[in-house]
Amino acid sequence: MNIFNFPAARPMPADPLHDEARDWLLLLTSGRATVADAKALRAWCARSPEHAQAFEQVKALWQQLAPAAEHLAQPRHFGRRAFLGGAIAASAAVVMVHVGLPGGFAGLTADYRTEVGEQRQVVLSEGVSLELNTQTRISRVGQGIELLEGEVEVLVHGAQPLKVQAGTGWVSAARARFNVRNTDHKVCVTCIDGALSVDVAGRSVPLQQGRQLTYDAAGLGEVATVDAQAVVAWREQVLVFNNATLATVVDEINRYRPGMLVLLNKELGQRRVQARFSLQQLAGVALLIRDAYGAKCTELPGGVVLLS
Q: What is the pLDDT of residue 107?
A: 60
Q: Are 277 and 242 in contact (CB under 8 A)?
A: no
Q: What is the pLDDT of residue 101?
A: 54
Q: Which residue has the higher pLDDT, 33 or 307?
A: 307
Percent residues over pLDDT 90 in the chain: 51
Q: Please give the domain boundaries of the chain with CATH numbers for all domains.
A: 3-100 (no CATH), 105-233 (2.60.120.1440), 237-307 (3.55.50.30)
Which of 18-22, 95-99, 114-118, 302-306 has the weakest average pLDDT? 95-99
User: Which of 167, 179, 280 lies closest to 228, judged by CA?
Assistant: 179
If you count them, how many residues does the chain have?
A: 308
- pLDDT tier at 97 (50, 70, 90 boundaries)? very low
User: Which of 43, 39, 45 lies closest to 57, judged by CA?
Assistant: 45
Q: What is the pLDDT of residue 226?
A: 96
DSSP state of 53: H
The residues, any chain, with a CB within 8 Å of residue 72's CB and separated by 6 or more, are: 1, 3, 78
What would the mean pLDDT of 297-307 be, rounded to a whole number?
A: 87
The residues, any chain, with a CB within 8 Å of residue 147's CB and separated by 6 or more, are: 136, 137, 138, 164, 165, 166, 180, 182, 187
293: left (phi over 0), alpha (psi -120 to 50) or beta: alpha
Q: Where are the beta strands (DSSP E) in 202-283?
A: 203-208, 211-216, 219-220, 224-225, 238-245, 260-263, 272-278
Buried-exposed string 84-118: b where 16+ CB fall within 10 A, e elsewhere: bbbeebbebbeebbeebbbbeeebeebebbbeeee
Q: What is the pLDDT of residue 105?
A: 52
User: Which of 61, 68, 76 lies closest to 25, judged by CA?
Assistant: 61
Angstrom distance (rounded) from CA 232 to CA 236: 8
Q: Are 25 and 62 in contact (CB under 8 A)?
A: yes
Angstrom distance (rounded) from CA 232 to CA 255: 15
Q: What is the pLDDT of residue 70?
A: 47
What would the mean pLDDT of 109-134 be, rounded to a whole number?
A: 94
Q: What is the pLDDT of residue 69?
A: 46
Give per-residue pLDDT as tens, 235-286.
Answer: 999 999 999 999 999 999 999 988 889 998 889 999 999 989 999 888 888 9
Q: What is the pLDDT of residue 209?
A: 97
Angstrom distance (rounded) from CA 39 to CA 26: 16
Give per-residue pLDDT as tens, 25-77.
Answer: 888 877 777 778 888 888 899 899 999 888 888 888 877 765 554 444 343 43
